[in-house]
Structure formats: C-alpha cells, structure tokens
Structure 1
Amino acid sequence: MDRGETSLEPHAAAPRCKGPCMIAPVRAVLRLRRRVCVLRKRRLLQPGAGADAGSGAARPSGSPGALRPDLHQPKFFTFDGLAELSSRTPRKRRRRSRVVLYPETSRKYRPRGEHRSRAQRCLLLLVAIVGFQILNAIENLDDNAQRYDLDGLEKALQRAVFGQPAAVSHIMTLLRDYLATHVHSRPLLLALHGPSGVGKSHVGRLLARHFRSVLEDDALVLQYHAGHHCPDPRAAQDCREELRRRVADVVSQAEEEEKTPLLVLDEAELLPSAMLDELYGLLQPQLSHHFHNAIYVLLSGAGGAEITHYVLQNASRTLLPRSGDSARSPQAPAEEELRSRLQTLLVQEHPLWQAAAIVPFLLLDKPDVVNCFREEMAGEGFFPEQALAERLAEQLSYYHVAGHEFATTGCKQVVAKVNVLQHRSAHTGY
C-alpha cells in the first residue's frame, strides 16, 4: 500500500451512528462529504500541486506523494486552485440591444390599430354642442332678467323709499335670483313685515307700477286688498274661491305670453285662515307648472310689535346699514337674527310663513320722516323747504332711545299733515 492509501485509512472511516435516528442514506452522505473534504485539503497542502495542475503534467506513479488517477482524480467533482480561480478571464456581459429609432428624415406613421375612431370624433362634436347650449342658456338668462329692468326698479325704490336700504337690497336680490330664468319649481313669496307707516304699502305700489310698465299688460299684475275685496270674515269661503279664480286667470295668461306675473296682497294680517290655506296651496309643487311662475308679495303688519321691540332694544348699535352704506355691512348678522325671530313667531300662526322670504321693515328715524314730508310736499306742488318739513315733523310723536328719535307711526300721518297745509294755503293765499 502506498503513501496515499495509508494516509486515507484513518480518516476514511466515518464514525458510526450509535443512535437509532441515523439511517443508511444519511451515513453514506456524511461519509462522502468527509472524503471530499480530506481530498481537497490534501491537494491544496501538497507543494507544487497547483503548478502541476495548471501545466497539465502528471507525476510518475512511483514518486512519493503521487496519487493514482483512478483513485485520487474525481470524475464528478473538480477542485480549482487559487491560482486557477484568479487566472480565469471574466465572462463578458451581454450588451443590451439599443432602441430602434426612426430616422429624422423619414415620415412617422402610427400603427394602424391606434388610429382615432369615429366615435371619438362624435364625442368631441357632442361636447362642443353641449358647451354651445350652455353658453346660449347663460345669455338667455341675462336677456330674461333685462326684460324686467331690475336696475331701474332698484333705483326707483332707493329714491322713493326712505330709511329701508337693507329691505330694498334684500328684495332686489330675491327678484334678481328668481327672474334670472322663466322656468321654476315653485313661486316666489315675499313677505314684507313691519309696523305702520314704515313703507310696506308704498313698496307694493311701486312694484305694481313697475311691473305694469315692463310687462305692458295690466292683467298680469293683481292687487288684492283684504279689507276691500273681502271685508266680511263670514264670506271667507267665497273670497277663497274668488282669489283662486283670479290667480288662475293671471298665471294662465302669463304662461301664454311667457312672462312672470306679480300678485300683491295688502293687509295680509286681515286674511282669514281659509284664504291663507288657499295661498299655501298655490305654493305647492304639485300644481300645474304655470302656477310655479309667479311672484307673490304679502304686505302685513304682523310682527310689527316684535320689530319695534327689537329696534328699541338694540338702538345703541346701528342695526342695518343706512343710505350710502354697504349692503353687506357688519350689521348683517343682526338683520339675519331679526328675520329668524320674526319667522319663528309667524310660523306659529300659519305654516304659510315657513315658505316665505321674510323682509323686515324697521322703524323710521326723524331724518327719514323729514324726507317723507319733503317728498310729499313736492308731489303736492309745494316747494320742499327743509325748515317747513322739520316743523311738520316736530308735530309727530317719537321714541327717544340712545340718542335716536324713531317715529311711532312712521310716515303714516305725512299725507294728512300736508293736506292740512294745502288747505290752509288755499285760504291764506300762500
């Protein structure tokens, strides 16, 4: 036995497994692994083994340390030395193919499957048509509002109604929003509330006069006075049927002419419950569409005591903007608070006021009463002298609170005072 064989015997014997867990395949794998490790260590430790392996020369079989090729050269495992591993040339990486670009001089065509279909063109045409219809509708809204000359109405109200700039501004805002289109889901109900003499009936007359002028048809403006048209409360059912018939005639004619009618009901606090029920039924969306296109203006003294109490209680601060002030001033929350309190009070009497836009009219200050005298004097042919108007205003009674003088009856007695002045001048030759 040569040197290589004598050196393998002590290490080739694998320890026997004493436990029952080891089986034959596992012992074979362990034995093979140990033998491979021993061969690898022997080959690396022998001097000149790496050089001989690199040059391909084999030792003679009789030289010491030479291994027989059939026993010591593995057929299925190769062990490269450190020199061989370092002398190997690195594998070249495969270069990725470059992106194919079109020449600059050639024409580029889309693939046939990516051409735009006709459906996309139809969609673009549809979008253009819808946009044109929307633009046309916006222009029609402006044209519909211009028919009623709301700018002229606002100027007339600001010039003729004294001490109520916030109420006038709120009325015009509601009218502009409603008259912007001819098609509506329900009528517009304006409820003007306030004590006597603050200008509610005057505003109702100005609205009726303006709408008669712009609509060019007196039949499209209905003025209903509760004390005149239905003086007997016992005939409430007959008044109810008459009111429904007159309203139906007005809205039917207005629908034929494609116009918005105006219906003014003065002294609404005198209307019996049956007529309030009828008005509430006219506001419901279940009725025919021509009933939805109408403007109702209710002039009522209901809630006048609440407004008077609120104004006197908050007289230390300016509740609402006066003439020349901004419509949306810091006092706007006070106005909203007054509307909310007033509506809560009125809803307890009838649910009609829940659907109404409440517009409170405040007490008039003394300078506003003086302006009322001057306006009435000019209308009766007198020179509107400031000193004379102030002397006439001194004859009225006022609430004196926090430096303000609020007229208890507003401008209610202005017409009577001016008539007395006219009668005296006729006898004295003034």
Structure 2
Amino acid sequence: MDRGPPSLEPAAPRTRGPCVIAPVRAVLRLRRRVCLLRKRRPPLPGAPEAGAPRAGGEQPRFFTFDGAAELPSRASRKKRRRSRAVLYPESSRKYLPRAERRSRAQHCLLLLVAIVGFQVLNAIENLDDNAQRYDLDGLEKALQRAVFGQPAAIRRIVALLRDYLATHVHSRPLLLALHGPSGVGKSHVGRLLARHFRAVLDDGALVLQYHARHHCPELRGAQACREELAQRVADVVARAEAEEKTPLLVLDEVEAMAPTLLDEVHGFLQPQRSRQFHSAIYVLLSGAGGGEITRFVLQNASRALPQQPRPEGGHEGREEGRAEEELRATLRGVLTREHPLWKSAAIVPFLLLDKWDVVNCFREEMAGEGFFPEQARAERLAAQLSYYRVSGREYSVTGCKQVVSKVNLL
C-alpha cells in the first residue's frame, strides 16, 4: 500500500504531564489534610470560625500550623523570660555584683579574733589566780593596821607587789628599797612582810631575813660574808624555782653592808644570771637618805605628804603625788652616787612620824604588853620624847624607836 506524501506540519512536542502534576497533587492533598484537621479541632472561645473572612481582608503572609490564639501566648512568654533576667523579679534569686560580695577570709578573721579574745580572757583569769595565792589584800590590811603614819608607803609597796606577783615568770627580780630615818617603821614592815610570805607560801625556807650587823659583824671578813650571802640566796631561789613560787629576801641595815656585799646583791639583778634569780623579791631596809627625808619634810611641812589617805582625783591627791615624786627623785640622785645598786631599785620613802602617830605606837605596845591602852597615859609617855616643831606640827626625832623601852618601865 502506497503511503501518501509526508505532512508538512511540525510534530507535536512530547508531553511532561507526570513531572508537573505530581507536586500539584501533593500540595492539594496537604491542603485538604490541613483543612480536615482544622475542622476536627474544637473552636476556641472568642476565636472566629474557620470560614469567616478576616477583618480588613488581611491574609496571612506565611503558612503556619498554629492557631491565632497561640501566637500571643508565646510572644508574652518570651517577654517574661527577657524581663526576668533584667528586672530581678521576686521569684528569682538575686546575686550581688562580684565586687560587692564578702570575702570568705572575713569569716576566718572573725574566728581568729574570737580565739585571741578567749586566750586574753583566760590569761587574765590566770593572773588573778596567781595573785590570789599571795593574799595581797590581807597583807595590805595587816600593814595598815600595824604601821602608823605611812599610808603612802604602804600603798606603793602593795601596788608594786601586786604588779609583780601577777605572773610567776619574770625577766628580772623586784627590788624594793625602803628608806627613812630611825624609828619610822622600816624594820617593822620587813618583819610583817616576812611573816606574811611564810604563811602564804607554807614554807619558811622560801623567806630569807638577813641582818647586816648580825650576820656579818665587823670582825668577820667581807669576802667570807659575801660567799655566805651568795650561797644562802642561791639555795632559796633554787628551792623556789623547784616549787614554782616567788621567794622573799629581806636585807636589813643595808647602810652597814660593805661595798663587796652591795656588789654581790647587785649581781643578783643582772640579766646574765640564771633564770631562777629572775623570779625573786628583794626588800632592802636602809637608813641611807634619812637626812634628806628629814630636811624635805621639815622644809615642806605645809605641803608634805599627808598622814591620812586623800582621794587621788582631788587637789590634795595631786599635791601629794607631786611631793612624793620630788622626794623619790631626790633620794635616787643621792643614793646612786653611793652605789649603782639603787639605779634599778623601786624607792619607797618613809616619812617622819608626828606626835599623834607616836601616841598610837604607845597604845599598841601597851596593849601588846598587857596594859590597858589608856589614851591619857599614852599621851603622857609620848610627851617625854623629842620633836621637831615647825608650821604648827610636831614630828618625832626618834619616831617610835623608844616606845618599847618606855613601856617596859611601866
């Protein structure tokens, strides 16, 4: 069969139906599925219906699965998160800036201060316990009751003992130098101190009483006396060191000691000596400087140290303090020229006794000897003694030195 002539029309292009229709179908299926899901979801209260047109004819610019009611809630949640970090709401925990935070070292510092305060308080209590062993309050009462006319000297002695006996360990011994004319009560105070320390220490071997004229007479060599004194002092301080107590060494009539003995006593005070010599109390009783004390009292009779205690804050107390300091400075200058021992001594001057103090001495001695302490008889006995009369006051020349001999004649 003959074929006709070929057609001159161009052939139709090859169709690409499956490549274009498949995406469109997928979009349509997805749209129908979304519409079906929206119909199944119950409508929110106050929300417009799905088919209702939007106000103003606005159409959404982007495709989303969230409803119109969910968008404001998410936006408000984001705002709350941002404001919480900046405004520090009450429900969140606040932190101070790093520069204002307290350092942990402050707690350690407070703990250290508390420990140091407790140690100081404990040390103060220990000091009180150590001082109570020696019963200084009782010593002060005994001295005030038995020693007449020396209130300033008694206060100074007790104050020096109280400061020194606050602790047991010391860097240097205490040297008390009691100076005054004859009969003013120096030896009597030395005996009372020795008696009190024997009682509180419960050991008489810790108290040494050394009389220069008795233990070292003129016929005996000074070197032998020096060796004996050194041995006796060494035994006392060694025993006191073993018992952890403070010994008392009373040296009477020091003005009669030879220079070698004074050198030996001065050597006890040196820091190069062993530690057992550092915790000891030396009481030197001397009449050296008695002339200076007599002249000072007579020249300053109108403002001399009063015989009765005065308040320290008043005018009389200040005047008493100035006069006492002036007298001690005068004595130190005179005594230092004789021997360097007095440079490190705490000088306590004993003043002249007036007539009223001598009367009290007579009454005390009469009561001790078994006589009735009649005031009139005591005044008659006191009138038999010699006195310095100046500025309307009477000071005994010999103090209470002749009281015992006068009472023995009764």
Question: Do both share a fold (TM > 0.5)?
Answer: yes
The separation in 1 between residues aligned to 2:231 and 2:347, in whole angstroms, is 26
Listed one character per residue, the Cα deviations across residues 149-205 of structure 1 (whole Å, up to 9, x for unaligned) are 111111111111101111111111111111111121110100000000000000000
**1:271 aligned residue:** 257
Corresponding position of 1:161: 147
2-structure distance, mates of 1:214, 1:124: 42
> What corresponds to 2:403 in structure 1?
414
Give the direction of change, closer, same or farther, for the CA distance of 1:112–1:364 in structure 2 (3 Å limit): closer
Distance, in Å, in 2 between the alignment partners of 1:176 and 1:372 is 28
Q: Tell me the secondary structure at the aligned position of residue 180 of structure 1.
A: coil
In 1, the alpha carbon distance for the partners of 2:339 and 2:211 equals 19
Deviates further, 101-110 or 166-175: 101-110
Contact persistence 2:187–2:252 (CA under 8 A)? yes
Which residue matches 1:131? 117
Give SS of 2:335's match: helix
- Residue 286 of structure 2: aligned partner: 300
Whichever residue aligns with residue 190 of structure 2, its letter is G
Report matched runs for 1:23-422 at 5 Å: 100-109=86-95, 123-232=109-218, 235-317=221-303, 319-326=304-311, 328-421=317-410
Distance in 1 (alpha carbons) for counterparts of 2:143 and 2:135 = 13
Q: Work out the CA distance in 2 between the residues paired with 1:400 and 1:111.
A: 85
- Cross-structure match for 1:88: none
Aligned sequence identity (%): 76
| 1:102 shift after superposition | 2.0
Q: How far does residue 325 in structure 1 lie from its aligned partner after superposition?
A: 2.6
- In the aligned structure 1, how far is the partner of 2:87 from the partner of 2:163? 62
Please give the per-residue CA displacement for 1:50-96, whole angstroms capped at 9, x wherever unaligned. Answer: xxxxxxxxxxxxxxxxxxxxxxxxxxxxxxxxxxxxxxxxxxxxxxx
Name the CA distance, whole Å, in 1 between partners of 2:343 and 2:365: 36
Contact 1:321 1:329 in 2 (8 A): no
Normalising by structure 2, what TM-score?
A: 0.75
Unmatched runs of 5 consecutive residues or more in structure 2: 1-82
Taking a change above 3 Å as real, the CA distance of residues 229 and 112 of structure 1, as seen in their structure-2 partners, is: same
Change (3 A) 1:246 1:176: same
Q: Within 2, Cα distance between the matches of 1:283 and 1:403? A: 44
Q: CA RMSD in A?
A: 2.2
Partner residue, 1:24: none
Judge conservation of contact 2:353–2:395 (CA < 8 Å) in 1: yes
> 1:329 & 1:350 partners in 2: Cα distance?
32
SS at match of 1:331: helix
Quote the Cα distance in structure 1 between the aligned partners of 2:369 and 2:154: 25
In structure 1, give the amino acid aligned to 2:370: G
Taking the aligned partners of 1:335 and 1:120, their CA distance within structure 2 comes to 51
Deviation at 1:290, TM superposition (A): 1.6
Offset, 1:251: 1.1
- Asked if the contact 2:147–2:189 (Cα under 8 Å) also holds between the matched residues in 1, the reply is yes
For 1:155 and 1:402, locate their aligned partners in 2 and report how far apart those are by CA, in whole Å: 32
1:233 Cα offset (Å):
6.4
Contact kept in structure 2, 1:162 and 1:371, CA below 8 Å: yes
- Give the letter for the 1:236 counterpart: A
Deviation at 1:121, TM superposition (A): 5.2
Tell me the residue number matched to 1:10: none
The CA deviation at 1:324 is 4.1
Paired letter, 1:341: T
Q: Any stretches of 5+ residues in structure 1 without a counterpart? A: 1-96, 422-430
1:320 partner letter = L
Aligned length: 323
Between the aligned partners of 2:191 and 2:220, the Cα distance in structure 1 is 28
For the 8 Å contact 2:152–2:309, the answer to whether it is kept is no
1:384 Cα shift?
A: 0.4
C-alpha distance in 1 between matches for 2:282 and 2:89: 76
Check whether the contact 1:233–1:272 (CA below 8 A) recurs between aligned residues. Answer: no
Per-residue Cα deviation, 1:269-325 (whole angstroms, up to 9, x for no partner): 0111111111111111121222111110000000111111111111132x1132243
Once the two structures are TM-superposed, the CA of residue 100 in structure 1 deviates from its matched residue by 3.2
Q: Which moved more, 1:378-387 or 1:286-295?
A: 286-295
